[in-house]
Structure 1
């Protein structure tokens, strides 16, 4: 027995419109085309003023608490962040500092990042994978990195990027279908198939 996946994307972009949000939404749309799902998008830039001054989770307003809960309760995460000085933004990390330490265990996470040039493409393996490994999440095998030239008016337009995104989603589908299962026996059967 399956249920619609709860997929939440987190965009680390601080501006609106944002290439990171556009990439996250593109990934969400491709996944939704393949698997029934409920989608959500957390934009760090939209909650930044409420997030920045908090030291403890209990200090956060309800709007930010709801975004944290959405991430913790998701079946699958899509993470897309811009590169800022060689890594993700401080507010992106600050948001994840409030996530429960055990809340993401075994949760599939598709990683993506955007940057001004190809020289930052290792952010996925050198910055994002270690962060989500700390949470014991299941980072999916293929990440997606995009540069400014891959977008037109904040929409994914580059053919090579579209192919990479499609491949990342196709490779993720077996694990996403496994996350969709509500019965452990069926999940095990899919895993062995």
Structure 2
């Protein structure tokens, strides 16, 4: 497993962020169980770079490195706060810039945070269709946490910890089955600029 790339994306555009804490908790469990060191991309930092380009052919510099890291990941953990019953615009923009061919069969663990249980289906009705369009393999177990699941910005819910453990098990099982991700990347390398 030492050559696999695990990338987490927090769609939050604020700091501190419960969404980032949730994604980090998932990445910590993945690291503990796999021995791999995941990368966390926080859109609070990455969004200004990403918004410098409106289409993938205009992506350069730091934005290109971010897009490439997402495209080349063997496993993605994607989390978003719920904004107006959906994911953040910054998260959508990132996935507007990626090349869809790099996602065929890629395992994606979905997570979200919200202020109320009423938004708990955002992973099913918003995130899962986005990654379905990209032809990714979204894992069966999703993680949704509300403010009461945190102590400040630290995850404190045993119920959410159990879901994380189950989702991490599914994720590691899938990356063990996936053929090399490099076969899926058919986009030409972008020129520096």
TM-score by length of 1: 0.87
Give the gaps of 5 or more residues in structure 1.
183-193
Report SS of the residue matched to 1:20.
helix
Structure 1 residues 38-76: Cα deviation after superposition (integer angstroms, max 9, x where no partner): 311111111222323532224334111101000111110
More displaced 10-residue stretch of structure 1: 134-143 or 45-54: 45-54
Relative to structure 1, the CA distance from residue 130 to residue 61 in structure 2 (aligned partners, 3 Å threshold; closer, same or farther) is same
Runs of 4+, deviation exceeding 6 Å: none
Query: Cα offset for 1:37?
Result: 1.7
Structure 1 residues 89-122: Cα deviation after superposition (integer angstroms, max 9, x where no partner): 1111011000002011111100000001100000
User: Is the contact between residue 149 and residue 157 of structure 2 (CA under 8 Å) also seen in structure 1?
Assistant: yes
User: Is the contact between residue 82 and residue 114 of structure 2 (CA under 8 Å) also seen in structure 1?
Assistant: yes
Matched, 1:7 2:10: no
More displaced 10-residue stretch of structure 1: 2-11 or 66-75: 2-11
Give the gaps of 5 or more residues in structure 2.
182-193
Query: Cα offset for 1:31?
Result: 1.1
User: Is the contact between residue 5 and residue 179 of structure 1 (CA under 8 Å) also seen in structure 2?
Assistant: no
User: Is the contact between residue 113 and residue 145 of structure 1 (CA under 8 Å) also seen in structure 2?
Assistant: yes
User: Is the contact between residue 55 and residue 96 of structure 2 (CA under 8 Å) also seen in structure 1?
Assistant: no
Distance 1:31 1:158 in 2: 18
Report SS of the residue matched to 2:8.
strand
Relative to structure 1, the CA distance from residue 87 to residue 15 in structure 2 (aligned partners, 3 Å threshold; closer, same or farther) is same
Query: Cα offset for 1:172?
Result: 3.0
Q: Which residue of 2 aligns with 1:81?
A: 80
User: Is the contact between residue 20 and residue 114 of structure 1 (CA under 8 Å) also seen in structure 2?
Assistant: yes
Distance 1:41 1:22 in 2: 11
* Aligned Cα root-mean-square deviation (Å): 1.8
Report SS of the residue matched to 2:177.
helix
TM-score by length of 2: 0.87
